[in-house]
Amino acid sequence: MQKKLISRFTAAIALSLVAVSFAPVAASAQLPIKFGASAGLSSPAGKLSDYTNSGYNVTVLSELSIPLLPIGARLEGSLNHFTWDRDQVVGLNGGARSLSVNANAIVNLPSTVLLQFYGIGGVGMYRVTNAVEIAGGTFEKKSESKAGFNAGVGIRLPVGPIAGFMEVRYHTVSGSNGFNFVPITLGIRF
């Protein structure tokens, strides 16, 4: 069962990477598909904040938005990484991370001419890994794949066909003993 879940997770990440590789084709055809990337701070929440420090987030995305409609869709692949809090986990090196593939709905909110506000949320698969350095410099890892969801808000600053954006979202992973986090990201969509 776990191997089947891992295979599906790997296939979803591969599909996301293939979609991103077609960015020049989509741009030249004037399709309503945009591609992008973002990075930023990822802050642990809930039980995860008891034993980890803030970390980082890196995301690649493809987004479908049809002009004059207030809704859109986004497929994204993300990495969130956190290091152990040395005050709470004494003598151990390592950290926790989440690799995820998410399908999100985007709802465009009333906006100004220069700034576009939106809400975003969806579901995904999260591969959660905890790694601990043990004697001799080797790492012991424990990984599990679980479903989860996310919700948040964002703001876009469009400049021609390119848009910068900032997002804040809350992610929670089901049945993962409190693996919750809040990435604050800056990105570009083209």
* Residue 45 near residue 51 (C-beta atoms within 8 A): no
Q: How far is 78 from 149, CA to CA, in rounded Å?
A: 13
The tens-digit pLDDT sequence of the chain (190 residues) is: 556 655 665 555 555 545 544 444 444 445 689 999 999 999 999 999 988 999 999 999 999 998 888 999 999 999 999 998 877 665 667 889 999 999 999 999 988 888 999 999 999 999 999 888 766 666 778 999 999 999 999 999 999 889 999 999 999 999 867 799 999 999 999 9
> Within 10 A of 78 (CB to CB), how many other CB atoms are there?
24
- Predicted local distance difference test score (pLDDT) of residue 175: 82
- Predicted local distance difference test score (pLDDT) of residue 82: 96
Q: What is the DSSP string of 74-103?
A: EEEEEEEEEEB-TTTSTT--EEEEEEEEEE
Q: How far is 168 from 81, CA to CA, in rounded Å?
A: 16
Three-state DSSP class for residue 189? strand
pTM: 0.80
> Within 10 A of 32 (CB to CB), how many other CB atoms are there?
12
Q: How far is 56 from 72, CA to CA, in rounded Å?
A: 26
Q: How far is 129 from 144, CA to CA, in rounded Å?
A: 7
